[in-house]
Structure 1
Amino acid sequence: MNFIKKIFWDFYIFLKMLILGSCSLISEMCCFVQPIKSPINREKEYVVVTGGNRGIGWSTVKALAESGMKVIVGCRDGPSRDILYQSAKQAELPTESVEWINLDMSSMESVRAFGQAILDKNIPISLLINNAGTMSPYALTKDGFETQFAVNYLGHFLLTHLLLPRLIEAGTENKAARIVCLSSIGHAFGWFEIYDLQAKSYFNKLCAYSQSKSAIIMFTKVLHERLSLKNYPVKIYAIHPGIIRSALWTQHWFANIGYLTTKLIAKTEEQGAQRVVHAALSSQVEDLSGNYFENSKAVEPIKLVRNRDTQKKLWEKSCQLLDISQFGGLQ
C-alpha cells in the first residue's frame, strides 16, 4: 500500500473509531452489570484460564477460586507468574486453588506445551476461559503470524483443540462443560480480510484487533455447530466484557486519551469479570451456546462475522496454519 493511500486509510479508521467508540461508551454508561443471582459452588472442578495474572483475567480467576474451583492459570514465567501468586496471597485464596503453568500465547510451541502439561494431569476440565489478549504494534511471531491474530485468536483456537477431549469427558447431559472466549464490541469495527489474516498488505492496530475479535466470534459459532451435531456435552460462548478500565487501553495513544476522558463511564475489571463468570457459570445461558454476548445478553454480531462462507474459510485456514487434521478429535 502506497504512503498516500495508507494516510487516507489511517485517517478514515481514526474517524470510524471515534464514532463507534463514542456509541459504545454511551451504551456502556446505560448498562448495569448483572451478577449471578444465586451462590455458585463448584468445588473439586477444574478450570483453565489464559492470561489470568492481571486485569479481567485475574478478577475472573479470583471469582472462580472463591466458587470452589481449582484454577489452572496460563501466563508467562517471571514477573507475570509473580504477580499471579502475590495477588492470590493478598486475596487470601487457598494455596491449592490456583496453579500456574508457563504459557506464551504468541508461541504455538508454548501453547502446545501448556496443553500437554494439562493433559498429562489426567483431570477433567469443566471450564476453559480463553481470556488472554493484546493490542500491539505490528510484529510477526516466531511462527510467522501477526501478533494480535496469534495471541487473541489463533493460540486459543489451538488450545481449545488440545483440551476439547478433556472438556467432553467432564461434561454431562445435565451439566455441560463450557468454553468462554473473550471477544469485543471492537469486532463491530468491521475489518476482516480472510485473504490477509497476517496483515501483510495493510496494518492498523485497531483493524488487527477487530479482525482477531471477529475471528473469535466466528470460531465460537462453528465449534458450537460441530459440538451440537455430535451432541457433545460442551457449550461455547463469545463475550464482550464491556468497556473496561484496563491496561489494554494504554497500548494505543488515542485509545488511551479516550480512556482518560471517559474513566468514570468505563466499568471496573471486577465488573468485567462478573460478565465472564456469568457466561461461565450461570444457568441462564445454558441453552444459548454459540452466541455472542454483550452485558450478559445474547446479541447479534455484525453481518460480516455472521457470513457462513467466511466462517468456514476461517476455520479451514486456521486448521491449515496449525496443521490440524481433526479438530479436538471430533469424529
Structure 2
Amino acid sequence: MWWLLPCILGFIRLYLDGVKVLLYQLFNRSFTLPDLPKQNGKVAIVTGGTRGMGYEISRHLASLDMHVVIAGNEEQEGLAAVKKIREDLNQGKAGVMLVPERRTEDGFELHFGLNYLGHFLLTNLLLDVLKKSGKPGKCSRIVIMSSATHYGGRLTLDDLQGRMCYSAHGAYAQSKLALLLFSYHLQDELWVRGDSVTVNAVDPGMVDTALYDNLSSPAQLAKKPFAKLLFRTPAEGASTAIYAAAASELEGIGGLYLYNGRKTESSALSHDQRLQNKLWKESCALVGLQ
C-alpha cells in the first residue's frame, strides 16, 4: 500500500493550495490592467490561444497592435478564434489538468509533455529569434503560465513520466513546478550571456475555464456553487499575463513570479539551482536538444 502514499499526498497538497487561492480571491479584488502602450507590430506567440485565458490574452494583445500568432492543436479552432478576435476588435494557455493517465504521441505523460515539455522545446527553438529581436530598452519577453499548485509540486527526476506511481494531481503540480524551474534557469542563462530577453512566470489564480472539466463528479458538484462567486473569469485570469507581456514598467525586468499583478514569492523548491540544472539537462535529452 506504500505506493498509494504519493497519490494521496499529491491530492491533499493540490486541494490545500486551491483552498488558499480561493480564500485570497474571496477577500481580494482581481488585478485591473492599467492602460498599456501600443505595441506597434511587435510579435507575440500565444500557446493555447483559442480558448479561455489564452484567447483573452490573444485578443487583448491584438488590440494593442501586436501581431499575434496563435499556437494550438486544432487548426479549425484556431481559425475560428482568429475570426472572432477580428470581429471583437472591429466592434470595439495550452494546458491540461487532472486528466486520467495518458501519453502524448511521443510517449510522455500528458501533463508533463503538454504543460511543460512542449513549452520548453518551443521556447528553445525560438531563442535565437528572440535574442536577435531583443535590444537594450526593448527586450524580447517570454511569459510562462504557472500556477499556485506548484507550491505542492514535487519533481521526481527518476520518474518524470509517472510510470512507477501515477497521480493526476501530482502530475499536474509537477508540470507547473517544472515550468518555474525552467523559467528561472533560462533567465539566469540569458543574463549571463547579456541577451536582451526577459522571462517571467505568471499565476492566473483559479479561473473558471474548461481546465476543470476533468474534476471528479463530487468535485464538480462542489465547484459549481463557488465558481461564479470565487473563481476569476478568463479575462481576469489573463490580465497578469497581458501585463507581463506589455507593461512599460517591466521593461528589462525578468525572473519574477507574478500573481494578481504583483511580484510574489514562489516556493523554495522552485529556486533550487541544482534541481533547475538537472531538469534542464533531462529536458534537453528528452526532446533531443544539444
Q: TM-score, normalised by structure 1?
A: 0.81
Aligned to 1:71, the other structure's residue is in SS state strand
Q: How many matched pairs?
A: 286
Looking at structure 1, the residues matched to 234 and 143 of structure 2 have their Cα atoms a distance apart, in angstroms, of: 17
Looking at structure 1, the residues matched to 82 and 16 of structure 2 have their Cα atoms a distance apart, in angstroms, of: 40
Aligned with residue 96 of structure 2, among 118, 134, 140: 134
Q: Does 1:167 align with 2:130?
A: yes
Looking at structure 1, the residues matched to 259 and 11 of structure 2 have their Cα atoms a distance apart, in angstroms, of: 24
What is the match of residue 104 of structure 1? none
Looking at structure 2, the residues matched to 13 and 230 of structure 1 have their Cα atoms a distance apart, in angstroms, of: 38
What is the match of residue 108 of structure 1? none
What is the match of residue 32 of structure 2? 35
Looking at structure 1, the residues matched to 15 and 142 of structure 2 have their Cα atoms a distance apart, in angstroms, of: 32
Is residue 14–residue 173 contact of structure 2 (8 Å, CA) maintained in 1? no
Is residue 42–residue 68 contact of structure 1 (8 Å, CA) maintained in 2? yes
Measured after TM superposition, the shift of residue 149 of structure 1 is 0.5
Where does 1:1-331 land on structure 2 (aligned, <5 Å)?
A: 4-93=1-90, 131-135=93-97, 136-253=99-216, 255-263=219-227, 264-325=229-290
Is residue 187–residue 199 contact of structure 2 (8 Å, CA) maintained in 1? yes
Is residue 207–residue 231 contact of structure 2 (8 Å, CA) maintained in 1? yes
Measured after TM superposition, the shift of residue 68 of structure 1 is 0.5
Change (3 A) 1:39 1:139: closer
Q: Name the structure, 1 or 2, with higher relative contact order (CA <8 Å, separation 6+).
A: 2
State the one-letter code of the partner of 1:42. Answer: Q
Change (3 A) 1:17 1:46: closer
- Runs of 4+ off more than 6 Å: none
Consecutive unaligned residues of structure 1, counting only runs of 5 or more, are 95-130, 326-331
State the one-letter code of the partner of 2:23. Answer: I
Is residue 249–residue 259 contact of structure 1 (8 Å, CA) maintained in 2? no
Measured after TM superposition, the shift of residue 8 of structure 1 is 4.7
Looking at structure 2, the residues matched to 258 and 157 of structure 1 have their Cα atoms a distance apart, in angstroms, of: 34
Could you tell which deviates more after superposition, 307-316 or 255-264? 255-264
Consecutive unaligned residues of structure 2, counting only runs of 5 or more, are none
Looking at structure 1, the residues matched to 246 and 162 of structure 2 have their Cα atoms a distance apart, in angstroms, of: 36
More helix by share: 2
Could you tell which deviates more after superposition, 47-56 or 186-195? 186-195
State the one-letter code of the partner of 1:261. Answer: P
Measured after TM superposition, the shift of residue 27 of structure 1 is 1.1
Is residue 17–residue 148 contact of structure 2 (8 Å, CA) maintained in 1? no
Looking at structure 2, the residues matched to 93 and 76 of structure 1 have their Cα atoms a distance apart, in angstroms, of: 26
Could you tell which deviates more after superposition, 282-291 or 21-30? 282-291
State the one-letter code of the partner of 1:322. Answer: V
Aligned to 2:202, the other structure's residue is in SS state strand
Q: Percent identity?
A: 30
Aligned to 1:262, the other structure's residue is in SS state helix
Looking at structure 2, the residues matched to 150 and 162 of structure 1 have their Cα atoms a distance apart, in angstroms, of: 16
Aligned to 1:236, the other structure's residue is in SS state strand
Q: What CA RMSD, in Å, does the superposition of the two structures yield over aligned residues?
A: 1.9
Aligned to 1:195, the other structure's residue is in SS state helix
Change (3 A) 1:14 1:76: closer
Measured after TM superposition, the shift of residue 6 of structure 1 is 4.5
Change (3 A) 1:90 1:280: same
* 1:19-46 per-position Cα deviation (integer Å, ceiling 9, x unaligned): 3221111012233233342342012211
Change (3 A) 1:7 1:229: closer
State the one-letter code of the partner of 1:280. Answer: A
Is residue 137–residue 252 contact of structure 2 (8 Å, CA) maintained in 1? no
State the one-letter code of the partner of 1:196. Answer: D
Change (3 A) 1:229 1:7: closer
